Structure 1
Amino acid sequence: MSNVKTLNPLIPDPEIFQDFVDALGDHIPAIERDIGRLKNAPEDRAVLADLFRAVHTIKGDAALCKLDLAVRIAHPIESILSRLREGQLQFSDLIGEAVLLALDRLELAIDAIGAGRSVENLRLDKLIQGLDALGGCQPAEVDQYSAELIEAVTGFQPIASIGTAPRQARPVLRSNEHLANDLRFFRSLAQQFENRSPLFKGRSARLLKLALDTNAEAGKPVDPVQLAAAVYMHDLGMMFVPESVWLKVGRMTDEEKQQLRQHPLQGAGLLQRMEGWEEAARMVAEHHEMPDGAGYPRGLGQRDICDGAKILAIVDAFEAVTLKHGQRGHTRSVLRAIAEVNACDKQFAPEWIAPFNAVIRRQVEAAD
C-alpha cells in the first residue's frame, strides 16, 4: 500500500488545481444528497449511476491535475459504487458512512494541500488501505470492513453500527465522582431540550423516576446509572432534527420520517464517544425498536433489544400519552396513558409491562 508521502501532494498547476477544487465543491453536495436518497431506496439504480458518474468524474479530474492522492482515494470508491450498481454488493448505512468519510477526508486533504499544510494528521494511509480492502471484500463482509475503516480513520465506532453487535472493548473503570459529573452534564443537556417547549417542563425528572422505579420493581437487572444516562440522552438527537419536523402537527413526508428516525442513533453516537457509557448508548439507540421488529432505526426483534431500551420505550410512550390527555386532569390522563400502554401488546416488551403497571398503580394510590 502506497504511503501518503509518496502520493505527491503538490500543486503542479495552480490554475488547474483551483478548477479541481471548484468542481469538487460542486460534486460533494450532490453525492451527499444521493447517498441520503439511497438510505430510503438502496437499490435505486438511477441514483447509483449518478453517484458512480460523479466519483468517476472526480477521479478523472484528479488525474488531469496529477493529484495522485485524490486518484488513490477516488478509485476504490468508484470500484465500490460499480459493484453496488452491478448488484454485487448491497448498499447499507455503513457503506454510505464510509464513502462520505472518504470524500470528507479528500476535501480536507485538498484544503491542506492548497494551503501548504501537512496531510499526515488525516490518516489517509489508513483510509486508502481501508477503501482498497472494502472494494475487494466479499458481500457478507461489507459492513464489517466499512466499520473497521471508519474506526481506523476517525478513532470512533461508526454511529451506524451502534447496538448491532457487542464490541470487545477494554473495561473502563471510572470513579463515582466522574460518573456523577457526567450525569450532571447529561441532565443539563436534557434540560436544554426541555426548554424547546413549555409542555416538556419537568419531563426528564418524571421519566427518570418512572424508569428507575420500574427497573427496581423487577430487581434492578439494568444498571441504574446507565439507565439514568439513557433517560437524559435518549431524545437529544431530536435537537439535530429541524423543529418544523419534530413539532409538526400534520402528516409527515417520507423524507421527514427518515430524518426523525435517525435521532436515536445521533443521541447514541454522542454517548458512544464517551468512555464508560456504552450500555447507555445501546439503550438510546434501541429505544424506538419494537418486539415485533416494526420499530426503528434497525427493525430489531424482541431478543435483540436490550432491557434498558425496553424500559425507556414504555416510560417515554407513557409520558407522551399523559401529556396528550393532560386536559382530562392528572389521574384521568394517567389512567388513559396506562390503558394505551397495556393495549399496545406488539409495541412494548411484555415482560416489562407488569413491573411498570405496579409502579403506576402505587403512584395513583398515593395521589388518591
Structure 2
Amino acid sequence: MSDEVQLQFVREDAEGFQDFRDVLSDYAPQIEKLASQLGQNPSSPELVGDLFRLIHTIKGDAGLCRVMFVVPFAHALEGLLARLRSGELLYQEVMGDVLMLVLDRIELVMAQIAGARPVDEVQMHTLLDALRSLESLPLPSVLATCSRLVAAMVGVQGKSEAPAVATGAKSVVQSRQQDMLLFRTLALQLEQRMPEFLGRTERNLKLALELNRQAGGWVDAEQLEAAVYMHDVGMMFLPESVWLKLGQINDNERRLMALHPAWVAGLLGRMPGWEEAALMVLQHHETPDGEGYPYGLASGEISQGARILALVDAFEAVMLKHAHRGQRRSMLRAAAELNAADDQFERAWLDPFNQVIRRMLEQSPA
C-alpha cells in the first residue's frame, strides 16, 4: 500500500459532493466517446489532448468540491495520458478500458459514501498503486498491467469454494408447460413497456441458467426459469409513473417498489409445485449485509436461487444504465461494478458469475 497518500473516503461538503457526482456523470459520455475515437485513430494527438484535458478538469473539480480521494486517481490517469501525448506510448484499447473502469469505480465509491456504506479501502489503495505504476513502466509492462487491472476489476481472476446447497425434493413429475407459458407471456408483456427492456427476458434467462450450470446446477433449473420470468412482473401492478421513472424515486415510491416481489411470490406460492420459484422471487432483493428488502434477511437466510436472480437482475440493470449513456463495453463494466459491490453479492456466487461473463466476453465480437 502506498504511503504517499492517505485516501479519505468521506463527504466533507455535502453540496459539493453531490455537485461533483453530477458533473462526473456529465463527463463520462464525453470521455467514452473520445476513448472510442482513439480506438479508431490511436495516434491522434488532438484526441489524446482532449482526453487529458477532461481528466485534468475532473481532477480540478474534485479538488474544488472537496472530493479529495478522487484527485490522486485522476492524477495517475493524467500521468498515463501524458505519456501518450508525448508520443512515448501508443494508445491501446485496454488503456481505454482501464480509464472507464476506474471512473466507474469512483462513481461506485461515491455512491457507497453517499449511502453510508463501507468502502474497501485496501482495494482502492491497491488500485491507485497499480495506476501510478503506469506512469513509468515500459510499453509491454504497461499493457500487461492494464490487462491485469481490467481482469481484477471485472473479477475474472481467482476461484472460491461454492456454497453448499441442501438438495430439496425434485419437482413434481407432472407437466407444467402451461404454467411456464403463462410466466413467459407475462415477462414478455413487461418487456413491451419500455424499449430498453426488449430482449431482457432471454438475456436474463441465459445468464441465470449458465450461472447455475457453472456453479454445479445447485438450483432446480425449472424453478429458476420460472423465477426469471416472474421476478419483475409485480412491477406491472405499480403505477407506471413509479416503475418507469428515469430519475430518482422518492421515499413513498420506494416503499411501493419494495412491495413488488411479495405480490408475485404470493401468486406463485398459491400455484402447486412453484414454491421454490416463489421463494426466489420473494428474496431476490435481499442482500447478504441485511440491507435488502422486503425483510432485511442476512446472508444465510437467503435462498441460493434468489442469489442467482439478484446477480442477474443487477447485471441487467447496470447494462441498461450504461447502454442509456451510450457507453461501449457495457458488459465488461457492468461485471466490474457488481464485483466491486461485494457487500451486496457473495464471493462464492460472484466467482461462477465471473467465469460465465468471461466466456461471454471471449465469444462476443471485438
TM-score by length of 2: 0.52
Distance 1:218 1:275 in 2: 27
The equivalences for 1:74-113 within 5 A come to none
**Matching residue within 318, 339, 356 for 1:359:** 356
The equivalences for 1:189-208 within 5 A come to 189-208=186-205
The equivalences for 1:167-178 within 5 A come to 173-175=172-174, 178=175
1:171/1:273 Cα in 2 relative to 1: closer, same or farther (>3 Å)?
farther
The equivalences for 1:280-359 within 5 A come to 280-326=277-323, 332-359=329-356
1:317/1:227 Cα in 2 relative to 1: closer, same or farther (>3 Å)?
same
The code of the aligned residue for 1:320 comes to A
1:210/1:172 Cα in 2 relative to 1: closer, same or farther (>3 Å)?
closer
1:173/1:327 Cα in 2 relative to 1: closer, same or farther (>3 Å)?
closer
Distance 2:170 2:206 in 1: 28
Q: Which moved more, 1:213-222 or 1:327-336?
A: 327-336
User: Which residue number in structure 2 is paired with residue 116 of structure 1?
Assistant: none
Distance 2:207 2:241 in 1: 29
The one-character-per-residue Cα deviations of 1:27-57 (angstroms, maximum 9, x if unpaired) are xxxxxxxxxxxxxxxxxxxxxxxxxxxxxxx
Q: Higher RCO, 1 or 2 (CA under 8 Å, sep at least 6)?
A: 2
The code of the aligned residue for 1:226 comes to Q
The code of the aligned residue for 1:231 comes to V
Distance 1:268 1:189 in 2: 14
Deviation, 1:174, is 3.9
User: Which residue number in structure 1 is paired with residue 231 of structure 2?
Assistant: 234
The answer to whether 1:216 aligns with 2:208 is no
Deviation, 1:249, is 2.8
The one-character-per-residue Cα deviations of 1:127-183 (angstroms, maximum 9, x if unpaired) are xxxxxxxxxxxxxxxxxxxxxxxxxxxxxxxxxxxxxxxxxxx997341xx222211
The answer to whether 1:247 aligns with 2:244 is yes
1:235/1:280 Cα in 2 relative to 1: closer, same or farther (>3 Å)?
same
Distance 1:349 1:337 in 2: 16
Deviation, 1:238, is 0.4
1:343/1:306 Cα in 2 relative to 1: closer, same or farther (>3 Å)?
same
Is the CA contact 1:331–1:364 (under 8 Å) kept in the aligned structure 2?
A: no
The one-character-per-residue Cα deviations of 1:293-336 (angstroms, maximum 9, x if unpaired) are 00000000000000000000001110111111126778611011
User: Which residue number in structure 1 is paired with residue 102 of structure 2?
Assistant: none
1:251/1:329 Cα in 2 relative to 1: closer, same or farther (>3 Å)?
closer
Is the CA contact 1:290–1:301 (under 8 Å) kept in the aligned structure 2?
A: yes
Root mean square deviation, CA, Å: 1.9
Which structure dedicates a bigger proportion of its chain to helix?
1
Deviation, 1:212, is 0.3
The code of the aligned residue for 1:252 comes to I
Q: How many residues align?
A: 198
Distance 2:335 2:198 in 1: 21
SS in 2 for 1:325: helix
Distance 1:325 1:218 in 2: 27
Gaps of 5+ in 1: 1-169
Is the CA contact 1:234–1:267 (under 8 Å) kept in the aligned structure 2?
A: yes
User: Which residue number in structure 2 is paired with residue 260 of structure 1?
Assistant: 257
1:262/1:292 Cα in 2 relative to 1: closer, same or farther (>3 Å)?
same
Distance 1:249 1:273 in 2: 33
1:330/1:277 Cα in 2 relative to 1: closer, same or farther (>3 Å)?
farther
The one-character-per-residue Cα deviations of 1:255-290 (angstroms, maximum 9, x if unpaired) are 111100000101111111100000000000000000
Is the CA contact 1:292–1:301 (under 8 Å) kept in the aligned structure 2?
A: yes
Distance 1:185 1:292 in 2: 34
The one-character-per-residue Cα deviations of 1:213-235 (angstroms, maximum 9, x if unpaired) are 00000110000000000000000
User: Which residue number in structure 2 is paired with residue 26 of structure 1?
Assistant: none
Distance 1:251 1:320 in 2: 14
Distance 1:249 1:210 in 2: 25
Q: Structure 1 residue runs of 4+, over 4 Å off?
A: 327-331
Distance 1:273 1:330 in 2: 43
